Amino acid sequence: MTALLLWDIDETLVTTAGAGERAIVRSARKHWSVEVDLSLIPYAGCTDRRIGHLIRKHFGIAQDESTLRAYLDDFVNFVSEELPVSGSRILPGISEVVEAVRTSPDHQQGLLTGNLRASAEAKLAPFGLWDYFPFGAFAEDAIERLDLGPIALARASQYYGFTFAREEVTVIGDTPHDVACAHAIGAQSLAVASGRFTPEELAGCEPTCLVSSLEESAALSFLSL
Ligand SMILES: [Mg+2]
């Protein structure tokens, strides 16, 4: 049996030290003339497209696909501008785990992220992480993160030429949305309290395994690495 790991990006693989948040604020200012206070918007774990919808809803801005598209395009541009000056960094234990998966004959890995593909690449490439993930499900694929799980599984099957058993699939992420994604596809979940959610909050979502960092030996043994 081959295990499949599906990785979240923000606060799981890397932290962008606020670059993503500043890009959201700048693009909303440019396209909707609003000053976003992200502490008022529950955006963690949401797809980039859903965050755009949440901002419009918060300010009562009418639905309009063309301005949303322009907001997202500039969001990606602003992420690329903000990242080099943000002090973004790879999170503890990640280099070792993704490399262990890459060299394991029994493991494969891909992305299951709310990022647009371009912002995912912008966040991972500086750390040499982008090339570890030959496939992924991104914000272009669905507005709701919950809908990304089946898409990630379909991409994995397409890429590797076989279907992974659901019990061999693990979603790794830092928010309740990641755990819910795993539940929705009958997969296991590894919750990592490396983001804004506490271990207690994540435990309430009933992940299969819960750690504070991917450096913990409990994470490696759970993943059979
Ligand atoms: Mg995350």
What spacing in Å lies between the alpha carbon of 99 and ligand 1's midpoint? Answer: 20
**Residue-level pLDDT at 63:** 83
CB atoms near residue 169 (< 10 Å) = 24
Among residues 87, 84, 74, 154, the alpha carbon closest in space to that of 116 is found at 74
pTM, entire model? 0.95
Task: Round the average pLDDT of the chain to a whole number and report it.
Answer: 96
What spacing in Å lies between the alpha carbon of 70 and ligand 1's midpoint? Answer: 24
What spacing in Å lies between the alpha carbon of 169 and ligand 1's midpoint? Answer: 18
Token pair listed for 86 = 């943000």
Does residue 19 register a pLDDT over 90? yes
Token pair listed for 219 = 């994470």
What spacing in Å lies between the alpha carbon of 91 and ligand 1's midpoint? Answer: 12
**Residue-level pLDDT at 64:** 86
**Residue-level pLDDT at 40:** 96
Q: How confident is the model at residue 114 (pLDDT cuts 50, 70, 90)?
A: very high
What spacing in Å lies between the alpha carbon of 136 and ligand 1's midpoint? Answer: 15
Does residue 181 register a pLDDT over 90? yes
* Cα-based distances in Å from 222 to 20, 145, 165, 188, 198: 30, 24, 17, 10, 20
What spacing in Å lies between the alpha carbon of 177 and ligand 1's midpoint? Answer: 9
The CATH topology of domain 3-16+89-222 is Rossmann fold (3.40.50)
In terms of DSSP bridges, do strands 14-15 and 89-90 run parallel, antiparallel, or are they unpaired? antiparallel
Alpha-carbon dihedral sign for residues 103, 176, 41, 70? positive
Percent of the chain with pLDDT over 70: 100
What spacing in Å lies between the alpha carbon of 85 and ligand 1's midpoint? Answer: 21
What spacing in Å lies between the alpha carbon of 197 and ligand 1's midpoint? Answer: 10
What spacing in Å lies between the alpha carbon of 1 and ligand 1's midpoint? Answer: 28
Question: pLDDT tens across 60-99, in order?
Answer: 999 888 999 999 999 999 999 999 999 999 999 999 999 9
What spacing in Å lies between the alpha carbon of 89 and ligand 1's midpoint? Answer: 14
Least confident span in 24-28, 41-45, 117-121? 41-45
**Residue-level pLDDT at 1:** 84
